Amino acid sequence: MTEMGSSTWDIIRFCIGIACLGIGCLLTLLGAIGMLRLRDVYQRMHGAGIVDTGGAGLVLFGLLLLSPDWQTSVRLIMIGAVLVFTAPTATHAIARAARFAGIRPELAHEEKETSS
């Protein structure tokens, strides 16, 4: 996109970029549906997790492939890096708050001891 005319690489990255954006949007939609359909606060966080990881990740990766210059790419990578560190922290904060508020997760089995 920066040079005149379009090379094969430009066409390839355009197609893959658009595909990533599309899949990312679908995953975000799926996460939103999960927020509505899942039953308690802990389960809904897993739906939000899809939006944070697959949704945002694929959209950012798609934009990275479509980015016109390296400055834009650097900023997109920075956004991704910040998301990777903040998204789980925020999710954990909600889980912790829910636990302190005394909300019991709906469980299929009793609490289990596991080690790896």
Measure the CA dihedral 14/15/20/22, to 10°. Answer: 110
Of 6, 11, 82, 96, the one binding other proteins (CB under 8 A) is 96
Amino acid residing at 48: A
Alpha-carbon gap, residue 101 to 116, rounded angstroms:
30
Of 9, 101, 102, 115, the one binding other proteins (CB under 8 A) is 115
Q: Given the complex with other proteins, which of 17 and 49 has the nearer CB atom?
A: 49
Q: Given the complex with other proteins, which of 2 and 112 has the nearer CB atom?
A: 112
Q: Given the complex with other proteins, which of 4 and 36 has the nearer CB atom?
A: 36
Residues 25-54 vs other proteins: string with x where CB under 8 A? --x--xx-xx--xxxx-xx-xxx-xx-xxx
Residue by residue, DSSP assigns 13-56 as HHHHHHHHHHHHHHHHHHHHHHHHHS-SHHHHHHHHHHIIIIIH
Taking every pair of C-alpha atoms in the chain, what is the biggest distance, in angstroms?
64
In the complex, the residues that contact other proteins under the rule CB under 8 A are 27, 30-31, 33-34, 37-40, 42-43, 45-47, 49-50, 52-54, 57, 71, 74-75, 78, 84-85, 87-89, 91-92, 95-96, 99, 105-109, 111-116
